[in-house]
Structure 1
Amino acid sequence: MTPGALGASPPGTAVLAHAGHGTAAAAWGPDAVAAALLAAALVAGYVLAARRHGRRVLRPWPVHRTVAWVTGCALVAVALSPVLAVVPGDASRHMVQHLLLGMLAPLALVLAAPLTLLLRVTTPGVRRVVGGVLAARPVHVLSHPVTAAVLHVGGVAALYLTPLYALTTRSAAAHVAVHVHFLAAGYLFAWALAGPDPAPRRPGTATRLVVLVLAGGAHAALAKLLYAHADRLPPGAVHAPGDVEAAAQWMYYGGDVAEVLLAVAVLAAWYRAGARRGSGTGQRVTGERVTGERVTARSAPATATARSPGAPATG
Protein backbone atom coordinates (compact mmCIF):
# COMPACT_ATOMS: atom_id res chain seq x y z
CA MET A 1 0.00 0.00 0.00
CA THR A 2 1.15 3.51 -0.70
CA PRO A 3 -0.13 6.49 1.27
CA GLY A 4 -3.12 8.14 -0.40
CA ALA A 5 -3.66 11.83 -0.64
CA LEU A 6 -6.24 13.53 1.51
CA GLY A 7 -9.50 14.18 -0.20
CA ALA A 8 -9.49 11.11 -2.45
CA SER A 9 -13.25 11.00 -3.14
CA PRO A 10 -13.94 11.29 -6.90
CA PRO A 11 -16.42 13.88 -8.14
CA GLY A 12 -20.02 12.72 -8.16
CA THR A 13 -19.56 10.05 -5.51
CA ALA A 14 -22.41 9.88 -3.05
CA VAL A 15 -20.94 10.08 0.41
CA LEU A 16 -22.27 10.74 3.86
CA ALA A 17 -20.86 13.54 5.94
CA HIS A 18 -20.19 13.09 9.62
CA ALA A 19 -22.92 14.63 11.73
CA GLY A 20 -22.31 18.34 12.13
CA HIS A 21 -19.74 18.51 9.30
CA GLY A 22 -21.95 18.81 6.26
CA THR A 23 -20.56 22.16 5.17
CA ALA A 24 -17.53 24.32 5.74
CA ALA A 25 -19.67 26.69 7.78
CA ALA A 26 -20.87 23.84 10.01
CA ALA A 27 -17.26 22.90 10.68
CA TRP A 28 -16.90 26.19 12.56
CA GLY A 29 -19.88 25.24 14.69
CA PRO A 30 -20.08 25.04 18.49
CA ASP A 31 -18.21 21.72 18.71
CA ALA A 32 -15.08 23.05 16.99
CA VAL A 33 -15.18 26.32 18.94
CA ALA A 34 -15.68 24.45 22.22
CA ALA A 35 -12.74 22.14 21.43
CA ALA A 36 -10.45 25.10 20.70
CA LEU A 37 -11.51 26.92 23.87
CA LEU A 38 -11.09 23.78 25.98
CA ALA A 39 -7.62 23.18 24.55
CA ALA A 40 -6.63 26.77 25.30
CA ALA A 41 -7.97 26.47 28.86
CA LEU A 42 -6.06 23.23 29.45
CA VAL A 43 -2.84 24.79 28.20
CA ALA A 44 -3.34 27.85 30.43
CA GLY A 45 -4.11 25.69 33.46
CA TYR A 46 -1.06 23.52 32.90
CA VAL A 47 1.26 26.51 32.46
CA LEU A 48 -0.07 28.12 35.66
CA ALA A 49 0.42 24.82 37.53
CA ALA A 50 3.98 24.57 36.20
CA ARG A 51 4.73 28.09 37.44
CA ARG A 52 3.26 27.24 40.84
CA HIS A 53 5.46 24.14 40.93
CA GLY A 54 8.51 26.33 40.46
CA ARG A 55 7.50 28.55 43.36
CA ARG A 56 6.59 25.72 45.75
CA VAL A 57 9.33 23.21 44.97
CA LEU A 58 11.96 25.81 44.07
CA ARG A 59 12.81 23.78 41.02
CA PRO A 60 11.43 24.55 37.55
CA TRP A 61 9.01 22.08 36.01
CA PRO A 62 10.71 20.39 32.99
CA VAL A 63 10.17 22.41 29.85
CA HIS A 64 9.80 19.31 27.69
CA ARG A 65 6.79 18.27 29.77
CA THR A 66 5.12 21.60 29.08
CA VAL A 67 5.94 21.32 25.38
CA ALA A 68 4.40 17.83 25.31
CA TRP A 69 1.19 19.11 26.91
CA VAL A 70 0.89 22.05 24.53
CA THR A 71 1.52 19.70 21.59
CA GLY A 72 -1.14 17.25 22.74
CA CYS A 73 -3.74 19.96 23.24
CA ALA A 74 -2.88 21.46 19.85
CA LEU A 75 -3.31 18.08 18.14
CA VAL A 76 -6.74 17.66 19.72
CA ALA A 77 -7.75 21.15 18.59
CA VAL A 78 -6.50 20.50 15.05
CA ALA A 79 -8.30 17.13 14.89
CA LEU A 80 -11.62 18.81 15.73
CA SER A 81 -11.04 21.92 13.63
CA PRO A 82 -12.09 22.67 10.04
CA VAL A 83 -8.60 21.65 8.92
CA LEU A 84 -9.83 18.05 8.95
CA ALA A 85 -13.60 18.38 9.26
CA VAL A 86 -14.28 20.74 6.34
CA VAL A 87 -14.53 18.06 3.59
CA PRO A 88 -17.86 16.25 3.85
CA GLY A 89 -17.73 12.47 3.88
CA ASP A 90 -14.00 12.26 3.22
CA ALA A 91 -12.95 8.98 4.86
CA SER A 92 -9.24 9.86 4.65
CA ARG A 93 -9.59 13.07 6.62
CA HIS A 94 -11.73 11.35 9.21
CA MET A 95 -9.10 8.63 9.57
CA VAL A 96 -6.39 11.24 10.15
CA GLN A 97 -8.70 12.84 12.70
CA HIS A 98 -9.03 9.53 14.54
CA LEU A 99 -5.26 8.94 14.45
CA LEU A 100 -4.65 12.34 16.03
CA LEU A 101 -7.31 11.87 18.70
CA GLY A 102 -6.65 8.22 19.47
CA MET A 103 -2.87 7.84 19.15
CA LEU A 104 -0.71 10.93 18.72
CA ALA A 105 -2.44 13.45 20.99
CA PRO A 106 -2.83 10.97 23.88
CA LEU A 107 0.87 10.07 23.79
CA ALA A 108 1.89 13.73 23.95
CA LEU A 109 -0.54 14.39 26.81
CA VAL A 110 0.69 11.37 28.77
CA LEU A 111 4.35 12.37 28.38
CA ALA A 112 3.48 15.71 29.95
CA ALA A 113 2.94 13.88 33.30
CA PRO A 114 -0.11 15.97 34.30
CA LEU A 115 -0.93 13.76 37.30
CA THR A 116 2.55 14.20 38.77
CA LEU A 117 2.26 17.95 38.32
CA LEU A 118 -1.15 17.93 39.99
CA LEU A 119 0.14 15.95 42.98
CA ARG A 120 2.98 18.42 43.47
CA VAL A 121 0.96 21.64 43.38
CA THR A 122 -2.43 20.74 44.82
CA THR A 123 -3.70 20.49 48.39
CA PRO A 124 -3.26 17.45 50.68
CA GLY A 125 -6.97 16.72 50.41
CA VAL A 126 -6.83 16.44 46.64
CA ARG A 127 -3.72 14.28 46.89
CA ARG A 128 -5.55 11.91 49.22
CA VAL A 129 -8.44 11.65 46.76
CA VAL A 130 -6.09 10.97 43.84
CA GLY A 131 -4.20 8.37 45.88
CA GLY A 132 -7.48 6.67 46.77
CA VAL A 133 -8.58 6.56 43.14
CA LEU A 134 -5.27 5.09 42.01
CA ALA A 135 -5.48 2.47 44.75
CA ALA A 136 -8.98 1.34 43.70
CA ARG A 137 -9.22 -2.13 42.18
CA PRO A 138 -11.23 -1.01 39.10
CA VAL A 139 -8.38 1.37 38.26
CA HIS A 140 -5.91 -1.51 38.60
CA VAL A 141 -7.91 -3.50 36.06
CA LEU A 142 -8.42 -0.61 33.65
CA SER A 143 -4.80 0.49 33.80
CA HIS A 144 -3.38 -2.94 32.97
CA PRO A 145 -1.82 -2.79 29.48
CA VAL A 146 -3.94 -5.72 28.23
CA THR A 147 -7.20 -4.04 29.26
CA ALA A 148 -6.07 -0.72 27.84
CA ALA A 149 -5.08 -2.39 24.55
CA VAL A 150 -8.47 -4.10 24.24
CA LEU A 151 -10.29 -0.80 24.77
CA HIS A 152 -7.94 1.02 22.41
CA VAL A 153 -7.91 -1.38 19.47
CA GLY A 154 -11.42 -2.64 20.16
CA GLY A 155 -12.82 0.85 19.72
CA VAL A 156 -11.24 1.08 16.26
CA ALA A 157 -12.62 -2.34 15.31
CA ALA A 158 -16.10 -1.43 16.54
CA LEU A 159 -16.10 1.79 14.54
CA TYR A 160 -15.03 0.35 11.20
CA LEU A 161 -16.40 -3.21 11.33
CA THR A 162 -19.87 -2.50 12.70
CA PRO A 163 -22.68 -0.05 11.80
CA LEU A 164 -21.29 2.37 14.40
CA TYR A 165 -19.50 4.44 11.74
CA ALA A 166 -22.76 4.87 9.81
CA LEU A 167 -24.50 5.86 13.05
CA THR A 168 -21.96 8.64 13.61
CA THR A 169 -22.92 10.10 10.24
CA ARG A 170 -26.49 10.52 11.47
CA SER A 171 -26.09 11.23 15.17
CA ALA A 172 -24.04 14.09 16.57
CA ALA A 173 -24.15 12.46 20.02
CA ALA A 174 -22.66 9.22 18.67
CA HIS A 175 -20.03 11.21 16.79
CA VAL A 176 -18.94 13.03 19.95
CA ALA A 177 -19.03 9.80 21.98
CA VAL A 178 -16.68 8.10 19.52
CA HIS A 179 -14.23 11.00 19.71
CA VAL A 180 -14.31 10.94 23.52
CA HIS A 181 -13.71 7.19 23.54
CA PHE A 182 -10.80 7.44 21.11
CA LEU A 183 -9.10 10.14 23.20
CA ALA A 184 -9.76 8.45 26.55
CA ALA A 185 -8.80 4.94 25.39
CA GLY A 186 -5.69 6.26 23.65
CA TYR A 187 -4.64 8.13 26.80
CA LEU A 188 -5.24 5.05 28.96
CA PHE A 189 -3.19 2.89 26.58
CA ALA A 190 -0.25 5.31 26.48
CA TRP A 191 -0.39 5.81 30.26
CA ALA A 192 -0.43 2.06 30.94
CA LEU A 193 2.58 1.46 28.69
CA ALA A 194 4.82 4.50 28.94
CA GLY A 195 3.36 7.14 31.21
CA PRO A 196 5.77 8.89 33.60
CA ASP A 197 2.83 9.38 35.98
CA PRO A 198 2.30 6.79 38.73
CA ALA A 199 0.33 3.75 37.57
CA PRO A 200 -0.87 1.05 39.97
CA ARG A 201 0.82 -2.33 39.55
CA ARG A 202 2.30 -1.49 36.17
CA PRO A 203 3.97 -4.65 34.77
CA GLY A 204 7.57 -4.81 33.60
CA THR A 205 8.97 -3.39 30.40
CA ALA A 206 9.03 -6.77 28.61
CA THR A 207 5.30 -7.32 29.24
CA ARG A 208 4.44 -3.83 28.05
CA LEU A 209 6.47 -4.21 24.86
CA VAL A 210 4.75 -7.53 24.10
CA VAL A 211 1.34 -5.89 24.55
CA LEU A 212 2.42 -3.01 22.30
CA VAL A 213 3.57 -5.39 19.54
CA LEU A 214 0.33 -7.40 19.72
CA ALA A 215 -1.82 -4.27 19.74
CA GLY A 216 0.15 -2.87 16.80
CA GLY A 217 -0.34 -6.11 14.89
CA ALA A 218 -4.09 -6.04 15.54
CA HIS A 219 -4.26 -2.41 14.41
CA ALA A 220 -2.38 -3.23 11.21
CA ALA A 221 -4.63 -6.25 10.56
CA LEU A 222 -7.70 -4.01 10.87
CA ALA A 223 -6.20 -1.59 8.37
CA LYS A 224 -5.51 -4.41 5.89
CA LEU A 225 -9.04 -5.76 6.36
CA LEU A 226 -10.49 -2.33 5.69
CA TYR A 227 -8.33 -2.00 2.59
CA ALA A 228 -9.22 -5.47 1.29
CA HIS A 229 -12.96 -4.91 1.74
CA ALA A 230 -13.14 -1.25 0.84
CA ASP A 231 -16.31 -1.91 -1.17
CA ARG A 232 -18.19 -3.12 1.93
CA LEU A 233 -16.57 -1.39 4.89
CA PRO A 234 -17.46 0.46 7.02
CA PRO A 235 -20.93 -1.20 7.06
CA GLY A 236 -23.71 1.15 6.11
CA ALA A 237 -21.46 4.04 5.09
CA VAL A 238 -21.53 5.18 1.46
CA HIS A 239 -17.94 5.82 0.40
CA ALA A 240 -16.11 5.20 -2.84
CA PRO A 241 -13.81 2.16 -2.52
CA GLY A 242 -10.81 4.28 -3.46
CA ASP A 243 -11.56 6.69 -0.63
CA VAL A 244 -11.82 3.85 1.89
CA GLU A 245 -8.54 2.37 0.59
CA ALA A 246 -6.82 5.72 1.11
CA ALA A 247 -8.24 5.86 4.65
CA ALA A 248 -6.94 2.35 5.33
CA GLN A 249 -3.49 3.42 4.18
CA TRP A 250 -3.52 6.31 6.64
CA MET A 251 -4.60 3.90 9.36
CA TYR A 252 -1.81 1.45 8.50
CA TYR A 253 1.12 3.82 8.13
CA GLY A 254 -0.05 6.40 10.65
CA GLY A 255 -0.55 3.65 13.20
CA ASP A 256 3.00 2.44 12.58
CA VAL A 257 4.40 5.91 13.27
CA ALA A 258 2.41 6.28 16.50
CA GLU A 259 3.39 2.81 17.72
CA VAL A 260 7.09 3.43 17.04
CA LEU A 261 6.88 6.66 19.04
CA LEU A 262 5.16 4.79 21.87
CA ALA A 263 7.84 2.08 21.81
CA VAL A 264 10.52 4.76 22.03
CA ALA A 265 8.73 6.23 25.05
CA VAL A 266 8.58 2.80 26.75
CA LEU A 267 12.27 2.15 26.14
CA ALA A 268 13.23 5.66 27.22
CA ALA A 269 11.42 5.13 30.53
CA TRP A 270 13.20 1.81 30.97
CA TYR A 271 16.56 3.47 30.25
CA ARG A 272 15.92 6.27 32.75
CA ALA A 273 14.91 3.76 35.41
CA GLY A 274 18.13 1.82 34.79
CA ALA A 275 20.17 5.01 35.04
CA ARG A 276 18.58 5.81 38.40
CA ARG A 277 19.29 2.31 39.68
CA GLY A 278 22.93 2.63 38.65
CA SER A 279 23.43 6.16 39.92
CA GLY A 280 25.56 4.96 42.86
CA THR A 281 23.11 5.87 45.61
CA GLY A 282 23.48 2.47 47.28
CA GLN A 283 19.77 1.77 46.79
CA ARG A 284 17.68 0.27 44.07
CA VAL A 285 14.10 1.11 43.21
CA THR A 286 11.83 -1.89 43.62
CA GLY A 287 8.50 -0.35 42.76
CA GLU A 288 6.21 2.64 43.10
CA ARG A 289 3.82 3.22 45.97
CA VAL A 290 0.97 5.72 45.94
CA THR A 291 -0.04 7.18 49.28
CA GLY A 292 -2.71 9.70 50.13
CA GLU A 293 -0.12 12.44 50.41
CA ARG A 294 2.54 11.73 47.86
CA VAL A 295 3.98 9.28 45.37
CA THR A 296 7.06 7.58 46.76
CA ALA A 297 9.44 4.85 45.63
CA ARG A 298 10.08 1.78 47.73
CA SER A 299 13.79 1.20 48.04
CA ALA A 300 15.81 -1.78 49.17
CA PRO A 301 19.42 -1.82 50.25
CA ALA A 302 21.95 -2.79 47.66
CA THR A 303 22.65 -6.53 47.54
CA ALA A 304 26.25 -6.01 48.59
CA THR A 305 26.74 -4.64 52.09
CA ALA A 306 29.97 -3.46 53.60
CA ARG A 307 31.43 -5.41 56.50
CA SER A 308 34.62 -5.00 58.42
CA PRO A 309 37.62 -7.19 57.55
CA GLY A 310 37.45 -10.55 59.23
CA ALA A 311 33.80 -10.21 60.17
CA PRO A 312 31.89 -13.45 59.72
CA ALA A 313 29.56 -13.71 56.77
CA THR A 314 25.90 -13.73 57.74
CA GLY A 315 23.43 -16.21 56.40
Structure 2
Amino acid sequence: MSHPHHLDLALLVMAAAIGYELLAARVPDWPPRRTLFFLAGAALLVAGLTLEAAGFRAHMLQHLLIGMLAPLGLVLGAPVTLLLRTSPRPVARLIGRALRHRAVHLVANPVTALALNLGGLAVLHVTPLYAATTRDPALATLVHVHFVLSGYLFAWVVAGPDPAPRRPSVPARLVVLGVAVAFHSIFSQLLYAGVIDVPAAAEERRGGAELMYYGGDIAELLLAAALVSGWRPRRQGVKTARTQSSSLSLNIR
Protein backbone atom coordinates (compact mmCIF):
# COMPACT_ATOMS: atom_id res chain seq x y z
CA MET A 1 0.00 0.00 0.00
CA SER A 2 1.30 3.49 -0.83
CA HIS A 3 2.44 5.75 1.96
CA PRO A 4 0.02 8.60 2.95
CA HIS A 5 2.64 11.19 1.92
CA HIS A 6 2.65 9.74 -1.59
CA LEU A 7 -1.14 9.79 -1.70
CA ASP A 8 -1.13 13.44 -0.63
CA LEU A 9 1.24 14.26 -3.48
CA ALA A 10 -0.97 12.33 -5.90
CA LEU A 11 -3.98 14.37 -4.78
CA LEU A 12 -2.03 17.59 -5.37
CA VAL A 13 -1.16 16.40 -8.87
CA MET A 14 -4.81 15.61 -9.62
CA ALA A 15 -5.83 19.04 -8.33
CA ALA A 16 -3.22 20.64 -10.60
CA ALA A 17 -4.61 18.68 -13.56
CA ILE A 18 -8.12 19.91 -12.83
CA GLY A 19 -6.85 23.47 -12.47
CA TYR A 20 -5.02 23.17 -15.80
CA GLU A 21 -8.20 22.01 -17.53
CA LEU A 22 -10.19 24.90 -16.08
CA LEU A 23 -7.60 27.43 -17.26
CA ALA A 24 -7.32 25.80 -20.71
CA ALA A 25 -11.09 26.09 -21.11
CA ARG A 26 -10.73 29.87 -20.77
CA VAL A 27 -8.40 30.10 -23.78
CA PRO A 28 -10.37 29.44 -27.00
CA ASP A 29 -7.31 28.77 -29.15
CA TRP A 30 -5.38 26.70 -26.62
CA PRO A 31 -3.94 23.68 -28.51
CA PRO A 32 -5.69 20.46 -27.44
CA ARG A 33 -2.40 18.58 -27.70
CA ARG A 34 -1.00 20.70 -24.87
CA THR A 35 -3.85 19.63 -22.62
CA LEU A 36 -3.40 15.99 -23.61
CA PHE A 37 0.34 16.18 -22.86
CA PHE A 38 -0.24 17.69 -19.43
CA LEU A 39 -2.96 15.25 -18.47
CA ALA A 40 -0.84 12.32 -19.65
CA GLY A 41 2.07 13.60 -17.57
CA ALA A 42 -0.18 14.02 -14.54
CA ALA A 43 -1.57 10.48 -14.98
CA LEU A 44 1.95 9.02 -15.20
CA LEU A 45 2.99 10.96 -12.11
CA VAL A 46 -0.01 9.74 -10.12
CA ALA A 47 0.69 6.19 -11.28
CA GLY A 48 4.29 6.47 -10.15
CA LEU A 49 3.45 7.99 -6.78
CA THR A 50 0.82 5.37 -5.99
CA LEU A 51 2.89 2.44 -7.25
CA GLU A 52 3.73 -0.13 -4.61
CA ALA A 53 7.53 0.00 -4.78
CA ALA A 54 8.17 -3.46 -3.33
CA GLY A 55 11.62 -4.33 -4.61
CA PHE A 56 14.31 -2.63 -6.63
CA ARG A 57 12.67 -3.27 -10.00
CA ALA A 58 9.50 -1.49 -8.89
CA HIS A 59 11.64 1.30 -7.44
CA MET A 60 13.31 1.83 -10.81
CA LEU A 61 9.96 1.80 -12.61
CA GLN A 62 8.79 4.42 -10.15
CA HIS A 63 11.85 6.54 -10.89
CA LEU A 64 11.28 6.19 -14.63
CA LEU A 65 7.67 7.34 -14.29
CA ILE A 66 8.06 10.25 -11.88
CA GLY A 67 11.54 11.43 -12.88
CA MET A 68 11.54 11.11 -16.68
CA LEU A 69 8.25 10.33 -18.43
CA ALA A 70 5.80 12.32 -16.31
CA PRO A 71 7.90 15.53 -16.27
CA LEU A 72 8.16 15.45 -20.06
CA GLY A 73 4.38 15.30 -20.44
CA LEU A 74 3.88 18.09 -17.90
CA VAL A 75 6.47 20.31 -19.59
CA LEU A 76 4.98 19.77 -23.06
CA GLY A 77 1.68 20.98 -21.64
CA ALA A 78 3.25 24.48 -21.39
CA PRO A 79 1.65 25.28 -18.01
CA VAL A 80 3.58 28.55 -17.55
CA THR A 81 2.40 29.86 -20.91
CA LEU A 82 -1.16 28.91 -20.01
CA LEU A 83 -0.80 30.67 -16.66
CA LEU A 84 0.56 33.80 -18.34
CA ARG A 85 -2.34 33.86 -20.80
CA THR A 86 -5.02 33.48 -18.13
CA SER A 87 -3.58 35.62 -15.32
CA PRO A 88 -4.34 39.28 -14.69
CA ARG A 89 -1.69 41.59 -16.11
CA PRO A 90 -0.02 42.38 -12.75
CA VAL A 91 0.29 38.66 -11.98
CA ALA A 92 1.66 37.93 -15.47
CA ARG A 93 4.26 40.68 -14.99
CA LEU A 94 5.23 39.19 -11.65
CA ILE A 95 5.70 35.77 -13.26
CA GLY A 96 7.79 37.36 -15.99
CA ARG A 97 10.03 39.09 -13.45
CA ALA A 98 10.42 35.81 -11.56
CA LEU A 99 11.57 34.06 -14.76
CA ARG A 100 14.20 36.77 -15.23
CA HIS A 101 15.52 36.47 -11.67
CA ARG A 102 19.20 35.61 -11.25
CA ALA A 103 18.39 32.46 -9.30
CA VAL A 104 16.22 31.21 -12.18
CA HIS A 105 18.99 32.04 -14.64
CA LEU A 106 21.36 29.89 -12.60
CA VAL A 107 19.02 26.92 -12.22
CA ALA A 108 17.43 27.12 -15.68
CA ASN A 109 20.66 26.10 -17.35
CA PRO A 110 20.94 22.72 -19.08
CA VAL A 111 24.23 21.93 -17.35
CA THR A 112 22.83 22.79 -13.90
CA ALA A 113 19.66 20.82 -14.61
CA LEU A 114 21.76 17.88 -15.82
CA ALA A 115 23.87 17.94 -12.65
CA LEU A 116 20.81 18.01 -10.40
CA ASN A 117 19.14 15.20 -12.33
CA LEU A 118 22.07 12.82 -12.75
CA GLY A 119 23.69 13.78 -9.47
CA GLY A 120 20.54 12.83 -7.58
CA LEU A 121 20.42 9.47 -9.35
CA ALA A 122 24.07 8.74 -8.52
CA VAL A 123 23.82 9.83 -4.88
CA LEU A 124 20.70 7.73 -4.36
CA HIS A 125 22.30 4.50 -5.56
CA VAL A 126 26.01 4.92 -4.77
CA THR A 127 25.48 6.00 -1.16
CA PRO A 128 23.36 4.34 1.57
CA LEU A 129 20.52 6.73 0.70
CA TYR A 130 18.47 4.15 -1.22
CA ALA A 131 18.62 1.72 1.70
CA ALA A 132 17.53 4.54 4.02
CA THR A 133 14.50 5.34 1.82
CA THR A 134 13.29 1.75 2.13
CA ARG A 135 13.09 2.24 5.90
CA ASP A 136 11.91 5.86 6.06
CA PRO A 137 8.81 6.71 3.98
CA ALA A 138 9.19 10.45 4.65
CA LEU A 139 12.72 10.36 3.24
CA ALA A 140 11.47 8.40 0.24
CA THR A 141 8.88 11.14 -0.36
CA LEU A 142 11.58 13.82 -0.32
CA VAL A 143 13.60 11.82 -2.84
CA HIS A 144 10.54 11.51 -5.08
CA VAL A 145 9.95 15.27 -4.89
CA HIS A 146 13.56 15.85 -5.91
CA PHE A 147 13.25 13.57 -8.93
CA VAL A 148 9.97 15.16 -10.03
CA LEU A 149 11.38 18.69 -9.77
CA SER A 150 14.78 17.90 -11.28
CA GLY A 151 13.15 15.90 -14.07
CA TYR A 152 10.76 18.76 -14.81
CA LEU A 153 13.60 21.29 -14.74
CA PHE A 154 15.70 19.22 -17.15
CA ALA A 155 12.83 18.66 -19.59
CA TRP A 156 11.90 22.37 -19.41
CA VAL A 157 15.33 23.80 -20.15
CA VAL A 158 16.09 21.21 -22.84
CA ALA A 159 12.84 21.03 -24.80
CA GLY A 160 10.06 22.90 -23.00
CA PRO A 161 7.76 25.21 -25.00
CA ASP A 162 7.49 27.56 -22.00
CA PRO A 163 9.83 30.58 -21.94
CA ALA A 164 13.20 30.02 -20.30
CA PRO A 165 15.99 32.55 -19.65
CA ARG A 166 19.05 32.43 -21.90
CA ARG A 167 18.22 29.06 -23.42
CA PRO A 168 21.21 27.71 -25.40
CA SER A 169 21.01 26.70 -29.04
CA VAL A 170 19.39 23.43 -30.07
CA PRO A 171 22.74 21.78 -30.93
CA ALA A 172 24.10 22.71 -27.49
CA ARG A 173 21.05 21.22 -25.79
CA LEU A 174 21.40 18.07 -27.89
CA VAL A 175 24.95 17.70 -26.59
CA VAL A 176 23.68 17.96 -22.99
CA LEU A 177 21.00 15.38 -23.77
CA GLY A 178 23.66 13.12 -25.27
CA VAL A 179 25.61 13.31 -22.01
CA ALA A 180 22.47 12.24 -20.14
CA VAL A 181 21.97 9.29 -22.50
CA ALA A 182 25.58 8.17 -22.06
CA PHE A 183 25.39 8.51 -18.27
CA HIS A 184 22.21 6.45 -17.99
CA SER A 185 23.67 3.79 -20.29
CA ILE A 186 26.93 3.45 -18.35
CA PHE A 187 25.25 3.70 -14.95
CA SER A 188 22.69 1.01 -15.78
CA GLN A 189 25.39 -1.34 -17.08
CA LEU A 190 27.46 -0.87 -13.93
CA LEU A 191 24.34 -1.54 -11.90
CA TYR A 192 23.55 -4.66 -13.92
CA ALA A 193 27.07 -5.98 -13.44
CA GLY A 194 26.94 -5.39 -9.70
CA VAL A 195 29.74 -2.81 -9.72
CA ILE A 196 27.21 -0.43 -8.20
CA ASP A 197 25.90 -2.40 -5.25
CA VAL A 198 22.40 -1.85 -3.91
CA PRO A 199 20.63 -3.74 -1.14
CA ALA A 200 18.58 -5.95 -3.45
CA ALA A 201 18.62 -9.50 -4.76
CA ALA A 202 20.69 -10.00 -7.91
CA GLU A 203 17.61 -10.67 -10.04
CA GLU A 204 15.89 -7.54 -8.76
CA ARG A 205 19.04 -5.47 -9.31
CA ARG A 206 19.45 -6.69 -12.89
CA GLY A 207 15.76 -6.14 -13.61
CA GLY A 208 15.98 -2.58 -12.31
CA ALA A 209 19.11 -1.95 -14.37
CA GLU A 210 17.35 -3.17 -17.52
CA LEU A 211 14.45 -0.82 -16.84
CA MET A 212 16.87 2.07 -16.46
CA TYR A 213 18.70 1.13 -19.64
CA TYR A 214 15.75 0.61 -21.99
CA GLY A 215 13.21 2.87 -20.30
CA GLY A 216 15.72 5.69 -20.00
CA ASP A 217 16.51 5.42 -23.70
CA ILE A 218 12.82 5.68 -24.58
CA ALA A 219 12.31 8.72 -22.33
CA GLU A 220 15.39 10.50 -23.69
CA LEU A 221 14.46 9.74 -27.30
CA LEU A 222 11.05 11.30 -26.64
CA LEU A 223 12.77 14.33 -25.14
CA ALA A 224 15.06 14.59 -28.17
CA ALA A 225 12.03 14.34 -30.48
CA ALA A 226 10.33 17.15 -28.55
CA LEU A 227 13.47 19.25 -28.89
CA VAL A 228 14.05 18.84 -32.62
CA SER A 229 10.35 18.96 -33.55
CA GLY A 230 10.34 22.71 -33.00
CA TRP A 231 13.70 23.29 -34.65
CA ARG A 232 13.38 24.50 -38.24
CA PRO A 233 16.70 26.15 -39.14
CA ARG A 234 16.30 25.65 -42.89
CA ARG A 235 12.70 26.77 -42.95
CA GLN A 236 13.59 29.85 -40.93
CA GLY A 237 16.40 30.59 -43.35
CA VAL A 238 14.05 30.32 -46.31
CA LYS A 239 11.52 32.49 -44.55
CA THR A 240 14.15 35.12 -43.79
CA ALA A 241 15.38 35.10 -47.39
CA ARG A 242 11.83 35.48 -48.68
CA THR A 243 11.16 38.32 -46.26
CA GLN A 244 14.33 40.11 -47.35
CA SER A 245 13.48 39.55 -51.01
CA SER A 246 9.98 40.95 -50.50
CA SER A 247 11.37 43.92 -48.61
CA LEU A 248 13.80 44.70 -51.43
CA SER A 249 11.20 44.33 -54.14
CA LEU A 250 8.80 46.64 -52.31
CA ASN A 251 11.60 49.08 -51.41
CA ILE A 252 10.66 48.83 -47.72
CA ARG A 253 13.25 50.66 -45.62
User: What amino acid does structure 1 have at the position aligned with 2:202?
Assistant: P
The one of 28, 33, 48 equivalent to 2:7 is 33
How many residues align? The count is 252
Report the equivalent of 1:72.
41
1:246-261 equivalent positions in 2, closer than 5 A? 246-261=207-222
Secondary structure of the structure 2 residue equivalent to 1:80: helix
- The CA deviation at 1:80 is 1.3
In the alignment, the residues of structure 1 paired with residue 108 and residue 234 of structure 2 have an alpha-carbon distance, to the nearest angstrom, of 23
In the alignment, the residues of structure 1 paired with residue 211 and residue 118 of structure 2 have an alpha-carbon distance, to the nearest angstrom, of 16
- The CA deviation at 1:308 is 7.7
- The CA deviation at 1:154 is 1.0
TM-score, normalised by the number of residues in structure 1 = 0.75
User: What amino acid does structure 2 have at the position aligned with 1:138?
Assistant: A
Report the equivalent of 2:197.
233
Q: Which structure dedicates a bigger proportion of its chain to strand? A: 1
Report the equivalent of 2:116.
151
Find out whether 1:306 has 2:248 as its counterpart: yes
Deviations 1:212-251 (A, max 9, x none): 0011101111111111116x612xx3x1111101101101
User: What amino acid does structure 1 have at the position aligned with 2:38?
Assistant: W
Deviations 1:245-282 (A, max 9, x none): 110110111100001001100100213x7656655796
Q: Which structure dedicates a bigger proportion of its chain to helix? A: 2
In the alignment, the residues of structure 1 paired with residue 4 and residue 138 of structure 2 have an alpha-carbon distance, to the nearest angstrom, of 13
Report the equivalent of 1:214.
179
Report the equivalent of 1:23.
none
Q: Percent identity?
A: 45
In the alignment, the residues of structure 1 paired with residue 154 and residue 20 of structure 2 have an alpha-carbon distance, to the nearest angstrom, of 22
- The CA deviation at 1:125 is 1.6
Structure 1: gaps (5+ residues): 1-25, 55-59, 284-301
- The CA deviation at 1:31 is 2.8
User: What amino acid does structure 2 have at the position aligned with 1:45?
Assistant: G
Report the equivalent of 2:91.
126
- The Cα RMSD (Å) is 2.3
The higher radius of gyration belongs to: 1
Deviations 1:96-126 (A, max 9, x none): 0000111000000000000000000001121
Structure 2: gaps (5+ residues): none
User: What amino acid does structure 2 have at the position aligned with 1:254?
Assistant: G
Asked if structure 1 preserves the Cα contact closer than 8 Å seen for 2:157 and 2:164, the reply is: yes
In the alignment, the residues of structure 2 paired with residue 72 and residue 161 of structure 1 have an alpha-carbon distance, to the nearest angstrom, of 28
Secondary structure of the structure 2 residue equivalent to 1:270: coil
User: What amino acid does structure 2 have at the position aligned with 1:265?
Assistant: A
Report the equivalent of 2:165.
200
Report the equivalent of 1:57.
none
Report the equivalent of 2:71.
106
TM-score, normalised by the number of residues in structure 2 = 0.92
